[in-house]
Chains A and B, each alone.
Chain A
């Protein structure tokens, strides 16, 4: 039962994330899923969800394959570094982490534009990085709440 609930929640997450990404250009909602997977240390689900997130983001994007892998690798590395210093399941940690992710977001966009000979606008990229950083903590709260409610509904939530 718990497995089914978990699967249904992740499918709900993916569908909602795709729809939410239409709200603002270059917004990445799947990062919230990675936060949740890392916070729960759910590496079994990460094994299939992470490649799926990469395929979805690369598929709906317009750059050559590779940028999203570097971006998600940066997210995981920053999360692991933060894990040594902070308690990971609170708003402040997610807020700090998303603020720190502005730098890799900007750097990866610059690097990929350079590698693929694309136009790079520093101001637009910075704007998008800031929107992403402001959006992530609130999206994380909403998704974490729905996940908590779903997994605890029958008193057999994931520990």
Chain B
């Protein structure tokens, strides 16, 4: 009698759970609630923890860890002078690039703007099945689902789930990640697949006659509009022609060190379309870049 009652209760609970599960899969109502409450609380706790950690580290660095500071300071001053000189050179090159772009009518890509976010933690909790990181920006502060994440080295991933002030981002190494990429030199198009944390990436659907060398950089193709074009994603480590398909098999490693991420940049679409149409007017006659300011009368 008791066992029958237990079975009936277990059956009812199972039906209720499956009902809730399918209803949530359709409406995502519980996922939204969990993201808003759970992720927000987690973000608040972790942000406080990081603030305390920063405070303690700064205190330690400022007052206790002063060994070799004088030598380091002198070395850094020398480096600063060197960097100032390099910045001047780069600024000149940048100005030249602007002028050349204007000459060939290539508009600057203003369709994305970037802002910084801090990585609060890696994958957290028993429900974290995907290879992901938690960042300190949410949909109210620019990290809407789908927003690309980059560092100065290259692509990190995209925002997967967001609460108002905290978000979870899917990394390029996750097996659910798919990104259209080009090889930088050969311009061969392929689809980049993640294979899990700490594993290499795989590029599929690259035509057999494509010329790809080891060490070549893979960049985002930007064809889907989800990622800006030209961001480095991976480095080719192995190329092998497949005997069974019409494609070649490429292995790559992520260009960004995803195990030690601290800060990332979020790229938000500005809504300004990147011009791809043919210009109405004929291109201007090439007359060379204008003379540098110093040389101008």
Q: Which residues of A contact B (CB under 8 A)?
A: 14-15, 18-19, 21-22, 25-28, 54-71, 105, 109, 112-113, 115-116, 118-119, 121, 124, 132
Contacts and interface: CB of A to CB of B under 8 A. Distances in A.
A114 to B, nearest CB: 12
B24 interface: yes
Contacts of B24: 64-66
Contacts of B129: 61-63, 109, 112-113, 116, 118
A58 B34 CA distance: 6
A119 B122 contact: no
Kindly name the residue among A22, A62, A63, A124 whose own CB sees the greatest number of chain B CB atoms within 10 A: A62
A19 B127 contact: no
Nearest to A113: B129
Given A26-B125, A61-B127, A63-B127, A56 B17 contact: no
A61 B122 CA distance: 11
Chain A contact surface mostly: helix
B39 interface: yes
B170 interface: yes
A60 B134 contact: yes
B121 A22 contact: yes
Nearest to A21: B124
B161 interface: yes
Interface string B86-128: 0000000000000000000000000000000000111111111
Interface in B23-73: 24-25, 30-31, 33-42, 45-46, 48-49
Nearest to A125: B129
A119 B20 contact: no
Contacts of A119: 175-176, 196
B126 A57 contact: yes
Interface of B: 17, 20-21, 24-25, 30-31, 33-42, 45-46, 48-49, 120-130, 132, 134, 160-161, 163, 168, 170, 175-176, 196-197
Nearest to A124: B196
B30 A58 contact: yes
B170 to A, nearest CB: 7
Contact of B170 (A27, A60, A62, A112): A62
Contacts of B36: 59
Given A18-B46, A25-B123, A60 B38 contact: yes
A65 B36 CA distance: 13
Given A62-B170, A65-B31, A118-B130, A18 B45 contact: yes
Contacts of B25: 64
A26 B36 CA distance: 20
B136 to A, nearest CB: 13
Given A62-B168, A66-B21, A57 B49 contact: no
Contacts of A68: 125-127
A28 B126 contact: yes
B246 to A, nearest CB: 26
A26 B124 CA distance: 5
A15 B45 contact: yes
For the complex of A and B, 4 pairs with smallest distance between CB atoms: A59-B38, A61-B127, A58-B34, A119-B175
A60 B127 contact: yes
26 contacts: A14-B41, A14-B45, A19-B45, A19-B46, A22-B120, A26-B123, A26-B125, A27-B126, A28-B125, A55-B34, A56-B38, A57-B38, A57-B126, A58-B30, A60-B125, A60-B168, A61-B125, A61-B126, A62-B160, A64-B31, A65-B21, A68-B125, A109-B129, A115-B21, A118-B129, A132-B126
Nearest to B195: A119
Contacts of A27: 125-126
B36 to A, nearest CB: 8
Given A65-B30, A113-B129, A59 B37 contact: yes
A71 B125 CA distance: 12
A70 B14 CA distance: 10
A18 B126 contact: no
